[in-house]
Structure 1
Amino acid sequence: MFKLLKAVSIFVGTVIGAGIFGIPYVINKSGIIPGFFYFLILGGVVLLIHLFFGEVFLRTKESCRLPGLAQKYLGAWGKILVMISVVVGLTGALLAYLILSGDFLKILFSPFSSLSAIQLAMIFWVLMSYLIFRGIKIIASIELLTNIIFFSTSAVVLFFCLSRFNLQNLAAFNLSNAFLPFGVILFSLIGWSAIPEIVDFFKTSPEKKKLKKTMILATAVTVPFYLIFTLAILGVTGGNISQDTLSSLAPFLSPKVIFLAVLAALVTLADSILVLGLYLKNTFVCDLRLAFFIVLDWLQGFYRHHRFCRNGCGRDRRHSYYFDF
């Protein structure tokens, strides 16, 4: 049960990322009714895609990521096209998340430090890189902790929003912008990069059978949370919503509550960075077999094996590249 909870945390932490900040803005433009419709339809469609994706990984014996699957089922050209898409897309997403993280860290630490946003982002990047190097086991535990922090701080922020909530601030429908939320909501629901990492996290066959349940539970958490978050923000700010959402709350909430909102935003970015970074690293190791990343992976396996042997438990065969290198 505890391992299932960690797996759900990995998936939720991956899905809830920077996309959450754009949802209130686009739904304010289109109206609540189209927004609810998109969450209902796209939530179901994306869940099906995740389930299909998970089934493919469970039925594929080789350890690979999406480019490896493309090579296996589509050939070399499929691998090349998917590899370019994955590497460019994830690298761009990670870069954007790090830039945002630097801005949030600057807000949080400005009373205590004179470091710039870029310097703080670099420190944050080093910390995230170390955790990515440690692998899915440590990341799963961190994701569980950060999910608790994120939902706790979000609950406090939403609670203080209630006193400012005004139902008249919610627009029902705007035909001219009815299609505006489509891309933002679709992006905010996607978490496919977490699926192979969760498959690796589940070691045994009985555990791997819980993958479907993991994705369903994660979707059941994220979609209602997005709706509650959006309704609360729009009920407070109304038409005065900014594209980043957080700056719109400043006139309505106290500095301490805004501090918690920024902390929640930083935590959800960290969650996404950890899983996306791990997926990208494993893509280089499993699908491209790049020497530098294989060496890093080997060192990780050596570290685990060394700790395992110190405990007198024999050889640790949980990390294949340690024994294949």
Structure 2
Amino acid sequence: MTRRIKDFILSANLLAGTIIGAGVFSLPYVFKIAGVATGLFYLLLATVAYIAIYRMYAQVISLTPSEHRLSGYIKIYLGNTAWWISILMTIVGAILVLTVYLILSQSFGNLITPFGSGEDKMVIFWLLGSTAIFLSLRRIALLEMMINIGMVAIIAIIFFLGLMKPDNLLSVNFGVHWGSFLLPLAPVLFSLSGRVAIPAMTKFGSLRAAINWGTIVPAVLFAAFVLSILALSPVVTEDAVTGLVGYVHPSILIVVGIFGMFSILSSYVTIGYDVYKSLGLDLGFPRFAQYALVVFGPLVAYFAGLNSFIGLVSLIGGIFLGLEGIFIVLMWLKAIKKPLSLSTLLLIAVFAAAIIYEIIK
């Protein structure tokens, strides 16, 4: 294997592994509500949009002499106001993502055992995740492997089970429900988000090809996952997996629950530790305040009423990732010193549509 091919595989795998996460569980529900054709349309649109965004961000990184986090690049190219918005956007968005994992922990916990309430299982998950963050276990590279193995295993299990029941897809509405036409946009943007992988990818060669395939492969897997869920169960729940109860053998559901729990726990620790570091490096928070916000922020958000899986995924994908996408386009235009073109205007429109829909819906 040549160095070029090896770099391509490592780089594409890094992006794909970052993208494949909790967002995929929101897709079957919104695809069914809006129509499968609508969902697949947005999956294609978001794939194209994110390929462009990731290329732009990679070019911004390569054109900037010093290395920064996203907020640092925003400060250089867009000024202090945009920088403050990006800091708040990143930290609040990450706290809400942790809340999404708290919600999912109930779903996977219920697959493993029917004993105890969902919130009891969530609190246990929260205690384990918070303890791991406190011990700085983010440094253990094994966590990244656990995330990828867990998510790919779940998608593979659901896909092969779905292959056994292809006839059930005949009863699925593949049309377009115009009243819910924009519903899938924000969850799809959330699902395909992998911007954090780009800085590490710039150290490899074959960047354009790696970005292309690192985005396309997860999109194809997501489409297969959605169709498999629709084939397996006539009941499609917000989290995708709860609706499988009664339609998939309990032992298989336990395996799915275990893989899912390991994966989201690893993601929880990884994201939580990154937020902890960001609070210290970007905002100068004292250590106690860093831990307090990371540990209690998601729990407070949940009990304050932010406990709808689809609602949170849509909020993050629409508002926070919508703003992030627009910021990256504007940074890129500043970095390459070019005016706004029709193609960049259309790209901004995709993310702006998600923001506007989430505000007015």
Amino acid at match of 2:124: Q
Q: Residues of 2 paired with 1:116 and 1:4: CA distance? A: 40
Does the 8 A contact of 2:111 with 2:253 survive in 1?
no
Match of 1:231 in 2: 227
Match of 2:318 in 1: none
Match of 1:168 in 2: 170
Q: CA deviation at 1:145?
A: 4.8
Match of 2:181 in 1: 178
Amino acid at match of 1:16: I
1:276 to 2:271 alignment: yes
Q: Residues of 1 paired with 2:213 and 2:242: CA distance? A: 31
Aligned-residue sequence identity (percent) comes to 24
Superposition pairs of residues 277-316 of structure 1, within 5 angstroms: 277=272, 279-284=274-279, 286-288=281-283, 290=285, 292=287
Amino acid at match of 1:67: S
Superposition pairs of residues 201-212 of structure 1, within 5 angstroms: 207-212=203-208
Which of residues 87, 91, 105 in structure 2 aligns to 1:83? 87
Match of 1:255 in 2: 250
Q: Residues of 2 paired with 1:236 and 1:227: CA distance? A: 14
Amino acid at match of 2:219: V
Q: CA distance change for structure 1 residues 89 and 152 in 2, over 3 Å: closer, same or farther?
A: closer
Q: CA deviation at 1:143?
A: 2.4
1:220 to 2:189 alignment: no
CA RMSD, aligned part only? 3.2
SS of the residue corresponding to residue 193 of structure 1 reads helix
Between 185-194 and 219-228, the greater mean CA deviation after superposition: 185-194
Which of residues 243, 263, 266 in structure 1 aligns to 2:261? 266
Structure 1 segments unaligned to the other structure (5+ residues): 297-325
Q: CA deviation at 1:116?
A: 4.3
Does the 8 A contact of 1:50 with 1:192 survive in 2?
yes
Between 211-220 and 42-51, the greater mean CA deviation after superposition: 211-220
1:190 to 2:193 alignment: yes
Match of 2:153 in 1: 152
SS of the residue corresponding to residue 147 of structure 1 reads helix
Q: CA deviation at 1:110?
A: 6.8
Q: CA distance change for structure 1 residues 278 and 124 in 2, over 3 Å: closer, same or farther?
A: closer
Q: CA distance change for structure 1 residues 20 and 7 in 2, over 3 Å: closer, same or farther?
A: same
1:210-259 deviation line (CA, Å, top 9, x unaligned): 54444323212200000000011112223x21111111111110111111
SS of the residue corresponding to residue 96 of structure 1 reads helix
Q: Residues of 2 paired with 1:66 and 1:82: CA distance? A: 8
Structure 2 segments unaligned to the other structure (5+ residues): 292-361
Q: CA deviation at 1:97?
A: 1.5
1:14 to 2:30 alignment: no
Q: CA distance change for structure 1 residues 178 and 291 in 2, over 3 Å: closer, same or farther?
A: closer
Q: Residues of 2 paired with 1:65 and 1:253: CA distance? A: 44
Which of residues 228, 237, 240 in structure 2 aligns to 1:242? 237
Does the 8 A contact of 2:172 with 2:230 survive in 1?
yes
Q: CA deviation at 1:195?
A: 2.5
Q: CA deviation at 1:273?
A: 3.2
SS of the residue corresponding to residue 244 of structure 1 reads coil
Amino acid at match of 1:164: K
Which of residues 30, 34, 52 in structure 2 aligns to 1:30? 34
Q: CA distance change for structure 1 residues 258 and 106 in 2, over 3 Å: closer, same or farther?
A: closer
Q: Residues of 1 paired with 2:283 and 2:149: CA distance? A: 35
Q: Residues of 1 paired with 2:251 and 2:89: CA distance? A: 41
Q: CA deviation at 1:31?
A: 1.9
Q: Residues of 2 paired with 1:151 and 1:209: CA distance? A: 25
Q: CA distance change for structure 1 residues 22 and 261 in 2, over 3 Å: closer, same or farther?
A: same
Q: Residues of 2 paired with 1:290 and 1:211: CA distance? A: 36
1:100-120 deviation line (CA, Å, top 9, x unaligned): 3365346536779xx743023
1:62 to 2:66 alignment: yes
Q: Residues of 2 paired with 1:26 and 1:242: CA distance? A: 10
Amino acid at match of 2:233: T
Q: CA distance change for structure 1 residues 213 and 67 in 2, over 3 Å: closer, same or farther?
A: same
Match of 1:303 in 2: none
Q: CA deviation at 1:40?
A: 1.2
Larger Rg: 1
Match of 2:132 in 1: 127
Between 212-221 and 19-28, the greater mean CA deviation after superposition: 212-221
Q: Residues of 2 paired with 1:251 and 1:149: CA distance? A: 23
